[in-house]
Amino acid sequence: MLKFIETLLGTLAEGSRRAGAPFAASVLFLAILAGAYAATNLKVNTDTSAMLDPALPFQQRAAELRDAFPEMKEDVIVVIRAPSLDEADAYAAALRDKLASHDDFTSVFAPAQEPFFRENGLLYLSVDELEGRLSQMSQAAGLIETLIESPTVGTLFTTMADNDRLAERSDLGQETLQRIYAELGDVVEASLAGQQRPFSWMGAIDEEMAEKEAHTRLLYATPVLDYTRLQPAKGAINALRAETLEMNTRFGGRVQTYITGDPSLRLEELEAVTTGIGYSFLLSFILVSLLLLLCYRSIGMAVLTLLGLIVTLTFTSAFAAAFMGELNLVSVAFTVLLVGLGLDFAIHLFLHIQERRAAGQDNREALKGALHEVGPALALAGPTTALAFLSFVPTKFDGIAQLGMIAAVGVIIALLVTMTYGPSALALFKSRPQQTANGRVRKVFDSISKVSGPVAIATIALGVVALFLMPQVRFDADQMALRNPNAQSVVGFNLLFEDPQTLPYRLSRLVDSEDAAVETASAASALETVAAVRSLPDFVPDAQDEKLELIDFGAGGIVLALDAAPGSVEGPPAADGIRALQGRLDEAYEDGAGARLAALLTEIDTSNEAQVAYLQENIFAYWPQLVSLLRAQMNADYVDIDTLPETLKSRYLSDDGKWRVDIMPKGDVRDFKELDKFVDEVEAVIPDLAGGAYQARKAGETISQAMLQATGIAFGIISVFLWLLVRRLRTVLLMLFPLALAAVLTAATGVILNIPFNYANVIVLPLLIGIGVDSGIHLVMRQRQIAAGEGIYGTSTPRAVLFAALTTVASFGSLMLSPHRGTASMGELLSIAILFTLICTLIVLPAAFNYEEKRASKGL
């Protein structure tokens, strides 16, 4: 069989050689057309959920959830963070107004700015919290009324001076005053420096708010999707970025905004992936070129090999565009993959051709001799490597299945290009090349041969130890573990974990009625790992009668204060107010916030109207906003599901009557152990779950099973294929042994270095199988050809295996520089895998050859 394959390859290669340069030019022309087709038709889909079989039960429930509530996937989320709640609210309100009339968005939902929540927000406090809030508001009623009538620096400072004198007898309290003094001190200091620093009125009347270093508001915007673009939401996101950039300037840079949500995450991930792959491809191409020059010591042979690689890449890309249409986050790496693997066949064939030509043979003789030496190995390596990749096709992991199909076709294309385009281009090489200086490489291999036995034994021993780490190998299905941690969308996404109400990793269930939603919430709330449950009925406040009574009872003084006529009183001049407060503070305080404020007040030039006006602008910037909120809160009314705003109801009750129940975790489910604990406990009670946490857990299980399944299929199919061709069990085992050993060592190293498998670096396994089988075949087949006692290190095959592996290292090692963490981890794990593959094929396998020869010589 192998003899027939050698003859077939020889006929194909010789026919191509005779066709010569015209045939080579035709191949290059077709490659240009293929590249143009791929460039205009091949897209990238960054949705990781689309990389799994849609027929899986958890995938079907996820699709049902997305169909019922599409905003979960479509909404862009703006995380707004500011030093004070006043600024966060003002920013959210302004941005909401801008986007509400923007052509790039169909709807905007800013919960804190919704009229419903502004009016009924107090009802969502506990009874004790409400009593405390009303007490604080009542204490400030006098100040509120005074400032409504005269919102000036003179009035504020004069009133503060009077209140300080009465602090021991008034309801305001010294503690509240000191908090206000500290806030005023910051405002005065910034105003003197000409800086924008608004006074926090919400912090002045709410102690809990004043203690927070940063306040967060969320805004949800549904973008108009342009499906003519690779990223349909890109136009809307860019428009949103422009709006926030302009608003950030208006707010003096004090407000930070982070645009996140699925569309933004996918957009920035695509940018990171394509940028990383682009840079990696360029860097790997340069490194590979240098390695080829080192390998051949011939610019012509290096250029010939690189042109063959380009032809392989363009034809493979055209295949992917024609039959796949779009790539995923795993299959997008096929280009870098083929930079390494696509060169292997050419290196083995051309290196042997070059050596024979240097020995005096012409192109025809050199080609024939080289095919005799490496043809059978190439014929085995191509299909077995392709079969290794195809082993992922039957699995439920569509992402790796797509890569497997593309890579398998790419490997066969690379083999065919090597056997056709390469020989046809040999016509350009007419002069006899100089003998390449292989002595140094041979000396290195000679040195390796002397220690191959002990090193092999040590490597095998490590492999045995590594087996005990196999149960700790895990798959990290957290999509965020792949992304650039410095990307704005990722930073914003992680900020959502700070509030239990906005946790993005949650479990969700769809039910058909309100009663079922309440029943689900009751069952989940009783579980230890559940922090909270949220569905539409949960937005109906409890104890409303008692709370409304408290508001009615406590609102009297506040309402009277809010009814004061705005600007009806002129108030004292600013200079009088400043002197009054400064004098009182000097009299009452020797240190602390009061003393600091007194010292700052002395620096104010009361004759400088611009300076005083700027101070007043900073102090009263959000005063109208506070008065408007207080007036709205006094209008609280009874709430039921029917009175909830439509913008809220549509997020928990779908048009077709599906009720959504969200179950929030108590632990940090970014830790896979907490995730497993949370999902297991809830699933035991509620089996039909969906949501981000469930998707991550089930995706991890599915892909872990897919890796094991594919590995088993690959080893089985390749073993049978090799047996059918070589008919020697010992030879087949020798070919597969380095592969199995390298796989175990790679997985164990990943455990030790905490590099789990993920959506991106899972391609390490098919690549390791491909490299291991390829290299093992070349060494085993070459060993069978050489004379007894000569040793495999005396041939050029180890040199070809070494440089083939080095080109793969150069291509995938460059991925470690990618800003995309998934791509970078791919480069890390692949570099480790290739290192072990080299050790196992160039040291362990030759040691096995020596051991077998010794046994044969002893008649064993």
The string of pLDDT tens digits covering residues 475-491 is 777 778 778 888 899 99
Portion of the chain with pLDDT greater than 90, in percent: 25
pLDDT of 245: 92
What is the average pLDDT across 529-557?
88
Tens of pLDDT, residues 460-519: 888 888 888 888 888 777 778 778 888 899 999 999 888 878 888 899 999 999 999 999
Q: Ranked by mean pLDDT, which of 149-153, 341-345, 375-379 comes out on top?
A: 149-153
d(CA 106, CA 125): 32
Average pLDDT, integer, range 63-88:
90
Does 320 share its domain with 415? yes
For residue 217, pLDDT beyond 70: yes
CB 805 within 8 Å of CB 737: no
pLDDT of 262 > 90? The answer is no
For residues 845 and 720, state if they share a domain: yes
Q: What average pLDDT score do residues 322-344 get?
A: 78
pLDDT reading at 450 higher than 70: no
Contact at 8 Å (CB) between 54 and 457?
no
Per-residue model confidence (pLDDT) at position 435: 54
pLDDT surpassing 60 at residue 387: yes
More confident residue, 74 or 226: 74
Residue 706 shares a structural domain with residue 814: yes
Task: Calculate the average pLDDT of the chain.
Answer: 83
Confidence (pLDDT) at 403: 83
**Least confident among 104-113, 123-132, 415-424, 807-816:** 807-816
pLDDT for residue 662 is more than 90: yes
Residue 46 sits at φ, ψ, to 5 deg, of -95, 10
Q: Cα separation of 417 and 410, whole Å?
A: 10
Q: Looking at residues 796-806, what average pLDDT do you find?
A: 73
The answer to whether residue 35 is domain-embedded is: yes
pLDDT at residue 380 tops 70:
yes
- pLDDT surpassing 50 at residue 789: no
Q: Which residue has the higher pLDDT, 153 or 799?
A: 153
Cβ atoms 571, 154 nearer than 8 A: yes
pLDDT at 793 over 60: no
Is beta strand 43-44 parallel, antiparallel or unpaired with respect to 326-327?
parallel
List, in order, residues 6 or more apart from 68 with CB less than 8 Å away: 510, 654, 656, 658, 660
Q: Which of 604, 624, 644 is the last residue of a domain?
A: 624
Kindly tell me if the per-residue pLDDT of 803 is higher than 90. no
pLDDT of 249 strictly over 80: yes
**Choice between 245 and 203, residue whose per-residue pLDDT is larger:** 245
Q: Which two structure tokens, joined as six digits, stand for 528?
A: 């230890």
Q: Is residue 635 one of the residues assigned to a domain? A: no
Those residues whose C-beta lies under 8 Å from the C-beta of residue 219, and which sit 6 or more positions away, are 77, 78, 80, 92, 95, 96, 99, 108, 109, 110
For residue 784, name the pLDDT band (cuts at 50, 70, 90): low
Q: Would you place residue 242 in the very low, low, confident or very high pLDDT band (cuts 50, 70, 90)?
A: very high
- Are 407 and 551 contained in the same domain? no
CA–CA dist 674, 688 (Å, integer): 20
CA-wise closest residue to 692 among 659, 658, 669: 669
**pLDDT confidence of residue 788:** 46
Compute the distance between CA of residue 118 and CA of residue 516 in angstroms, rounded to an integer.
30
pLDDT in tens, 161-177: 887 777 655 544 667 77
Q: Which residues contact 706 (CB under 8 A, 6 or more apart)?
A: 392, 395, 396, 397, 400
Residues 142-165 have a mean pLDDT of 87
Q: List the domain range (segments joined by +) for residue 594.
A: 75-260+542-624
| 792 has a pLDDT exceeding 60 | no
pTM for the structure as a whole: 0.79
**845 shares a domain with 824:** yes
Residue 840: DSSP 8-state: I
Stretch 47-72: mean pLDDT: 85
CB-CB contact of 62 with 690 (8 Å)? yes
91 and 144 together in one domain = yes
Residue 398, in any domain of the structure:
yes
SS3 of residue 247 by DSSP: helix
In the block, residue with structure tokens 């001076």: 161
Beta bridge partners of 644: none
Q: How far apart are CA 754 and CA 390, in angstroms?
A: 28
Identify which of 87-96, 140-149, 365-374 has the greatest average pLDDT: 87-96
Rounded Cα–Cα distance for residues 50 and 262 (Å): 13
Model confidence at 190, in pLDDT bands (50, 70, 90)? very high
- 64 or 297, greater pLDDT: 64
- The CATH number of the domain holding residue 770 is 1.20.1640.10
Residue 383 covered by a domain: yes
- Across the range 722-734, mean pLDDT stands at 73
Q: Which residue has the higher pLDDT, 439 or 343?
A: 343
The C-alpha atoms of residue 524 and residue 316 are separated, in whole angstroms, by 50
Same domain, 250 and 270: no
Q: In which band, very low, low, confident or very high, does the pLDDT at 855 lie, cut at 50, 70 and 90?
A: low
Residue 67 falls inside a structural domain: no
Beta bridge partners of 509: 661
The residue assigned the tokens 């109208």 is 624
Mean pLDDT, range 122-137, rounded to an integer: 86
Residue in 156, 108, 61, 177 with CA at minimum distance from that of residue 650: 108
pLDDT in tens, 629-648: 988 988 899 999 999 998 88
The average pLDDT across 114-131 equals 90
Residue 148 has pLDDT above 80, yes or no: yes
Last residue of a domain, which of 594, 624, 654? 624
Mean pLDDT of 311-329: 88
In the sheet where 530-534 sits, what is the strand order? 507-511, 659-665, 530-534
pLDDT of residue 31: 92
- Using a pLDDT cut of 70, give the percent of the chain over it: 88
Lowest mean pLDDT, pick from 366-370, 698-702, 723-727, 813-817: 723-727
Q: Are residues 253 and 272 in the same domain?
A: no
Residue at 500 is within a domain = no
Which of 122-126, 264-268, 509-513 is the least confident region?
264-268
**352 contacts 374 by C-beta, under 8 angstroms:** yes
For the cut 90, the answer to whether the pLDDT of residue 838 exceeds it is no
Please calculate the CA angle 275-276-277 and round it to the nearest 5 degrees: 95
Q: How much is the average pLDDT of 331-357?
A: 79
Question: Among residues 572, 593, 624, which one ends one of the domains?
Answer: 624
Q: Can you tell me whether residue 653 is helix, strand or coil?
A: strand
**pLDDT band for position 710 (50/70/90)?**
confident
Based on the fold, state whether residues 246 and 294 are members of the same structural domain: no
User: Which tops the pLDDT comparison, 345 or 5?
Assistant: 345
What is the average per-residue pLDDT within 48-56?
Answer: 78
Quick check: 258 pLDDT over 90? Answer: yes
pLDDT band at residue 116, thresholds of 50, 70 and 90?
very high
Question: Hey, is 505 helix, strand or coil?
Answer: coil
Say whether both 327 and 434 belong to one domain.
yes
From its phi and psi, is residue 487 left (phi > 0), alpha (psi between -120 and 50) or beta? beta
**DSSP secondary structure code for residue 663 in this structure:** E
The larger pLDDT score, comparing residue 98 to residue 448, is at 98
Q: Is the same domain home to 569 and 550? A: yes
Task: Answer whether residue 390 is part of any domain.
Answer: yes
Would residue 117 count as lying in a domain?
yes
Higher pLDDT residue, 541 or 845? 541
How many domains, in total, are found in the chain?
Answer: 2
Of residues 528 and 436, the one with the higher pLDDT is: 528
468 and 606 housed in the same domain = no
Phi, psi of 44 (to 5 degrees): -130, 130
Please write the tens of the pLDDT for every residue from 768-777. 776 677 776 7
Give 539's contacts (C-beta < 8 A, 6+ positions apart). 639, 641, 644, 648, 652
- CA distances, 601 to each of 178, 201, 209 (Å): 16, 20, 26
Beta strands 256-260; 530-534: pairing state: unpaired
pLDDT of amino acid 46: 67
Of the candidate ranges 55-69, 329-343, 536-550, 558-572, the one whose mean pLDDT is the lowest: 329-343
Mean pLDDT of all residues in 300-328: 89
